[in-house]
Structure 1
């Protein structure tokens, strides 16, 4: 087994034991089951909302907290003296957080469609493209938080402070049609809002909205570049 494979195995075990991982799976699943028990069969709103919640939790909570904690504890600095290099740790963490996202989303879709009777997605390719871009946008925010936060606690706090206003503007706490028009328009151009709306559009079989896909792409590119610019290994 190569050193990189060993690192991946160790980090996977640590991720599985991390309470935050269970939190990011159970919270959206709990919301889906509790509210899904009262929805009409064929609902196209709740499942996209649960998926957006899950991706947001991984991107704004798990990813930045883990990376900032590793830097705070000097793990990234110590890796710089080994053949693995700190960049390998970053790549492994991104991969594992992506796996956590895929597993959570797969579980939500399976429960929502097969147990609660939610409508299955329309064009699968459109759903995949939307989830990929939405995940990239949320992960880019997490990377920027990790780059700027002084330690793991700060990253956790920043992620939480960003998550709840974003979730509100995205229509995850209150239906968009019950929000003031101005707030609804602002929310549509946030990464989480564009993601949630895109998911709902494609879940009904519609085509992805190009402006919303462009919004998520811009966030992913610009914030990733900023995170790379400001990221500190120690």
Structure 2
């Protein structure tokens, strides 16, 4: 398992998509954060949701579907390294990538832009884990259903932009039609953004968006496991 993790980490580092997952949210933060107020509780949570969404809906499903398309999962089934081990390693490495992207955003926001950073670590960690689990579950379902890596890429992109819009990541929720903003609160990205904004405001996340993320993570993970194919 350790050797597999090392090999997969090297491949991930060389993957252009991993670089984009780090740089795109950072670019958005820096461009729009030039006029950020010290007490702003909106922009950074939005950037964090963008980062986790890119990893969960683009990187994870594209990688796994490509491995199945190339027969890597099938060939692993004939070796001591089981395909399930690769699946676990990939999920963990993508989690590390999401953590790195969010850590970079927080570091730049605090050290360079002078943004407000929350003092409550546990609510922030809980929100991050639930939001990541929800979006990774969707990514795994895409990987389960997509016939190849290119299809997984396309499906991930097609899902990402509507979800990002509904979540208020492309336009502030306060400037969206009320019904659209309300629907967005029940998407995994919207619930993630809302909970992170609560954390950044110094409070405790509302139980409803936390429950929404947990429900997505549980239900969609079950569906992904049901439909996932090794070859």
Question: Which structure 2 segments of 5+ residues have no match?
Answer: none
* SS of 1:116 mapped into structure 2: coil
Aligned: 1:232 with 2:229: yes
Which residue in 2 is equivalent to 1:131?
Answer: 128
Matches within 5 A, 1:187-198: 187-198=184-195
Task: Return the offset for 1:215.
Answer: 0.3
Which residue in 1 is equivalent to 2:213?
Answer: 216
Distance 1:126 1:13 in 2: 32
Query: Which runs of structure 1 show a deviation greater than 3 angstroms over 4 or more consecutive aligned residues?
Result: none
Task: Return the offset for 1:10.
Answer: 0.6
**Alignment counterpart, residue 48 of structure 2, candidates 32, 37, 51:** 51
Under a length normalisation based on structure 2, what TM-score does the superposition of the two structures give?
0.99
Count of matched residue pairs? 231
Distance 2:140 2:118 in 1: 29
Question: Which structure 1 segments of 5+ residues have no match?
Answer: none
Aligned: 1:169 with 2:160: no
Do the aligned partners of 1:32 and 1:50 also contact (CA within 8 Å) in 2? yes
Distance 1:6 1:124 in 2: 33
Task: Return the offset for 1:195.
Answer: 0.5
Which residue in 2 is equivalent to 1:70?
Answer: 67
**Alignment counterpart, residue 102 of structure 1, candidates 96, 99, 122:** 99
Task: Return the offset for 1:114.
Answer: 1.2
Note the aligned Cα RMSD (angstroms): 0.6
Do the aligned partners of 1:169 and 1:186 also contact (CA within 8 Å) in 2? yes
Which residue in 1 is equivalent to 2:18?
Answer: 21
**Alignment counterpart, residue 147 of structure 2, candidates 141, 150, 170:** 150
> For each residue in 1:67-116, what CA deviation from the matched residue of structure 2 results, as whole angstroms up to 9, or x when unmatched?
00000000000000011110000000001000101111111101001110
Aligned: 1:115 with 2:112: yes
Distance 1:200 1:117 in 2: 17
Distance 1:42 1:115 in 2: 15
Do the aligned partners of 1:122 and 1:206 also contact (CA within 8 Å) in 2? no
Aligned: 1:61 with 2:58: yes
